Amino acid sequence: MSDYDPRTYGRHWSQYYDDVFKEIEDSTIELLASYAGPSARALELAVGSGRIAIPLTGKGVVVSGIDISQEMVALMRDKPGGGVIPVSMGDFADVDVEGTFHLIYLAHACQIREWLAAEAVPVTHLHAHFGTNPAEIALLIHL
């Protein structure tokens, strides 16, 4: 597939994504919620279908997202609770967001990990959005 990249990911995967990547265990959501800090605010990079953002919102965390794929965000919007999560559309390497967050996370699939490594994706512009102690609040997880 010569047109397979971050911008076409959703077009290729949206019809299968939730079947392949199942729900997240509640213990994982609890762990993420514990990192959201006293503000209980989190930013998910590549929020996609909301498989993490929606249950995290259910734990009282105010989640915002960034995503490049309209198709993937449409999956989230169709789910209960998915309509309340604000999403900034674009590549998280350069799109900006409003506010500060005690938790900024990326729950990445293999394709995103490959793009990050291949392109040395800079996310330093997000440092301004960290809460009080960025050393304790950034997680890069593979779920």
Over residues 38-58, mean pLDDT: 91
pTM of the entire structure? 0.76
> Residue 97 has what pLDDT?
85
Q: Residues 93-118: what's their mean pLDDT?
A: 70
Residues with Cβ within 8 Å of 52's Cβ and at least 6 positions away in sequence, in order, are: 24, 28, 29, 32, 44, 105, 107, 143
Question: How far, in Å, CA of 61 to CA of 78, rounded?
Answer: 20
pLDDT in the model for residue 74: 94
Q: DSSP letter at 55? A: H
